[in-house]
Amino acid sequence: MTPQTLLDHTDQGRLWPAPLSAQAGFDLDAAYAQALAVRDLRIARGEQPRGFKVGFTNRTIWARYNVFAPIWGTVWDTTLTLCEGEGRVSLARTCQPRLEPETVFGLKAAPAANATLDELFDAIDWVAPGFEIVQSHLPDWKFLPADTVADGALHAHLIVGPRVALRELAASATELDALLANAGVTLIRNEEPVELGQGSNVLDSPLRALQHFVDTLRACPGAPELRPGDVVTTGTWTDAWAVRPGERWSARFTPPLPALTVDFTD
């Protein structure tokens, strides 16, 4: 499939006819090149990049999805919703959507190359709870890693909850790292708890997931630079759960992270 065909399937919420990984030589490098070509098409038609999603950082679910390393993709102005604790998102034209509770960082500066945790801490403006809506254009979420990269890193939408200034959460990288690693979340569907999650599931902590992403992004040929104002969501604390219109989902994080609720519509 061409980049335009991939974009058409995303726009229309249609399954792919076959996995791209079935093509000889279609590896992760080829997949990122394809994803960056789709990114160029989206920019050309007027969409604006707003940051990045990092996926498959939760080691506890790697075997379930047959993916054993993180991936990344672009978050757009058309796929980003900011709210103060309760949001509403349409699932129209998504493909087999699922929901993931995550930690989102807002950057005030581009981190230095090979940034230490202290240097990352200095580049962060705020921290927020988030829900990423992920999707797969292959039936039953059966894919190989290269497929997920070419499929926009499975990104469909990102809901960002109340943004908490970094210095209100922690005074140092060490403190923030431990705070987020030790934090928990209860994922709730229609007032019924469905799963408990832990920040340490995400490459030991969301801050370390951010560090891994910064290094990985810079190592990818042709990848864009991080910019001040970018948002980066760092991966799910639980499994990804199927969502449907009419459902109400909440993530109740342990203090001091605020809760987040989203209602889904057609």
pLDDT tens per residue, range 16-59:
999 999 999 999 999 999 999 999 999 999 999 999 999 999 99
Token couple for 202: 């995400």
Distance CA 206, CA 58 (A): 10
DSSP-derived 3-state class of residue 239: coil
pLDDT at residue 188, as a whole number: 98
Has residue 215 got a pLDDT over 90?
A: yes
Q: Which residues pair with 263 in a beta bridge?
A: 88, 248
Name the DSSP letter for residue 35: H
Tell me how far apart the alpha carbons of residues 50 and 227 are, in angstroms, rounded to a whole number. 9
What does the pLDDT look like over 143-190, one tens digit per residue?
999 999 999 999 999 999 999 999 999 999 999 999 999 999 999 999
Distance between CA 35 and CA 206 in Å, rounded?
A: 24
Burial of 11 from C-beta contacts in 10 A (0-12 / 13-18 / 19+): exposed
Residue 113 in tokens: 């190359």
Does residue 224 carry a pLDDT above 90?
yes
Identify residue 164 by its one-letter amino acid code.
Answer: V
Q: What is the mean pLDDT of the chain?
A: 97
Topology, domain 3-265: Fumarylacetoacetate hydrolase; domain 2 (3.90.850)
Give the helix, strand, coil percentages of the chain, each rounded to 5.
Answer: 35, 30, 35
Percent of the chain with pLDDT over 70: 100
Q: How far apart are CA 30 and CA 264, in angstroms?
A: 34
- State CA 122 to chain mean position distance: 22
Band of pLDDT at residue 141, cut at 50, 70 and 90: very high
- Asked if the model's pLDDT at residue 255 lies above 90, the reply is no
Nearest to 118 by CA among 192, 191, 174: 174
Question: What single-letter DSSP state applies at residue 202?
Answer: B
Among 6, 139, 147, 162, which residue's Cα sits nearest to residue 67?
147
Residue 202, Cα to own-chain centre: how many angstroms?
12
Picking from 112-116, 207-211, 213-217, 229-233, which range would have the lowest pLDDT averaged per residue? 112-116
Average pLDDT over residues 91-120: 97
Alpha helical stretches, state H, the chain? 3-12, 28-44, 62-65, 117-123, 145-150, 166-169, 173-182, 206-219
